[in-house]
Structure 1
């Protein structure tokens, strides 16, 4: 989506940083649940940087700075990498291993969608890989929450997962009015706030469980 098509208000551009913050902090919190290795750190960095590229491009356009469509289009490539790592970590936590089919899928789909994006000169093909990996991540996180009999947390992860299917296609539309973007951004902020709340609940429950095991209770 080109930032040249809309005269963005500053308030709209600034609000776009809120869901980026919520999602990134949520991924950081999930390190306690999914493992604290370098892969989870990289996932948080990729998700955070991806969100910042689009929000940053929008803010520059709103402030009458340079219009950089290529910067905005880095969103889905970075999200693909971030959620690719997340789905592998979530699978390993839920089942004890990252299945071969999932590893091949993450590598293969990333390459295929990346080549498609290069050939099409558009990042939209990588929306496909982002959605697939986010879906797998969400399913595993919902499963982890349900394994712990935490229906509320499972529902919160479900809200964030549903947002990919609703907001992704909307955000990829060329006819982006300011009103539509306000609706998209506020809904996205609510969805990522749900993800943050779910990650916090799951992380807090993990800490409590680890403490109980350590004290023999």
Structure 2
């Protein structure tokens, strides 16, 4: 039996393959999970996604399973303790950004009713289904991720540049960037 064709980056170990096969590109609409991805994509800045995935369970434990209100209420001393945890990316700016992003998320929820409604508004509430044939066609950012980044920054979010926003959009299914030949392209294109 021939092996399944996957996006090139999924070949970087079992954890990455499983993430590719089950999560990446699947439309997410749960505020808590969207917040988790915003935080993890920001934590990844300057690092590999593989590094973040290996630390994901530690992040969930450290940040109360990404309960937005609980993270927003974290004190400086709580964040200082987390800087000692080798299971996390020990970067003070990224740690405080997680709390700041929780506070900004609460404000967005107050204004829009949900983080989901706010974030998905950038793509009109529906996934964008791209039809890339080669990995060189897949952009690092787009006009939409530029708009998202600008608006998030205006609202006080941090570690959310346009490249991070586009990676977030890919991860949460706002855009389907599985290559056409990848077995997940069609499956993600059928989900809403």
Q: State the TM-score, normalizing by the size of structure 1.
A: 0.29
- Give the TM-score taking structure 2 as reference length: 0.31
Return the structure number with greater helix share: 1
